[in-house]
Structure 1
Amino acid sequence: MSPQMIELLLEALLETLVMVAAAGSVAIIAGLPLGVLLLITGKGHILENRPVNVIAGVVVNAVRSTPFIILLVAIVPLTRLIAGTAIGTKAAIVPLAIAATPFVARLFETAMREVDSGLIHAAQAMGASRLQIVMKVLIPEARPGLLAAATVMLIGLVGYSAMAGAIGGGGLGDLGVRYGYQRFLPEVMAAVVVVLIVLVQGVQSLGDFLVRRFSRR
């Protein structure tokens, strides 16, 4: 590839990293309390509340079941309201975060569900409040699982970001479509695929490392 194309590839990679990092951060910040809510309001848990659990579950499942490409188009007015535009890297962060939040919330719920119930009962017996149980038992004990869930979510966002790029979101997907497909430059498309593979492998390796580290603790 020419130096110009290499420069464009690096620029597209940076845009993808920004999209994934920003949307992933929002999804983790919003998804963790949502996952906690889904868990603790469930049957027999520390804050059992069936109506809240059902409503939260329906909302989460509704967003999760909506194909990302449809979600991307459906929330254009919201994207424009939040980002000030409906195209570009900044705009793509909004639908990416909205799509990733319920997905990672379910993964977080599953990870925390694996915490030994005996630990929760022991904390209750010692007079721990619900907030203390969440902050000092559920989240710390489920940390390896939470990290693994976040890794899966981030890898999913890499794929979603490429899809967003294909319709004006910038990043590697946009580069692959505009140059690799529309301008018939297969070497550009191949380079984009290779970079995406390396990026996913890097995220997975980092996630596995963190999971192992906290599992030993």
Structure 2
Amino acid sequence: MLAPTITCLRRPTIGEAWLAVAECILADGTPGSWDGKPLREILAAVLEVDSPAVADPIIARHADPERLAWMHANFTDHSRVAELGEADSYATRLYDYARTGRDQIAWVVERIKADPATRNATITTFQPLTDTSYVPCVSLLDFWLAGDALQLGVYAHGIDFGTKGYANLVELAALQHHVADAVGAAVGTFTFTIKSAHIYDTELDLMRDICRAAR
């Protein structure tokens, strides 16, 4: 069986990127399922965002504020996430890895400051000793400088680009800005590689309406 064709999309902003992936899924996605829930997906998607600003007019207009708030809490609150089976939040994974006191973001900042040419300021959110029933969707973050700009590469095994993926984009852009500020760099390109970019069947009509309204 042939490997899936890689879908590459490049857009100026995270809002345009969200809609571009959603439109691709709606047009070319194939049926699949996640934990028994039917969806449409494209496999092996690579998304490049040239100017990943956190405040995005498309997302501000079309996003669900509750979902934005939920994802923001996931990236900033060290409490366990009840909706994910009491799994550790991204905040814990990034700033207190495996609850050991290891601040991975501080480590990235110091590594880049010590060697601006480093190519292994790379961290993971996966905690294999405790992630036995839940594996975080965003699992790898890779930071590096190209000229005076901080680049961010992220890998995820699956992202819901219906009415939740935009919140991932916002929080990852915020993290890129945070590290860029800490190392005294401009914000460069954000590259997001996703194994399964999908929309659940229950949100297909909603996303069609959003995409039409945004044109």
TM over 0.5, shorter chain: no
What TM-score do you get using the length of structure 2 for normalisation?
Answer: 0.28
Which of the two has greater strand per residue? Answer: 2
TM-score by length of 1: 0.28
From the CA coordinates, give the structure whose radius of gyration is larger. 1
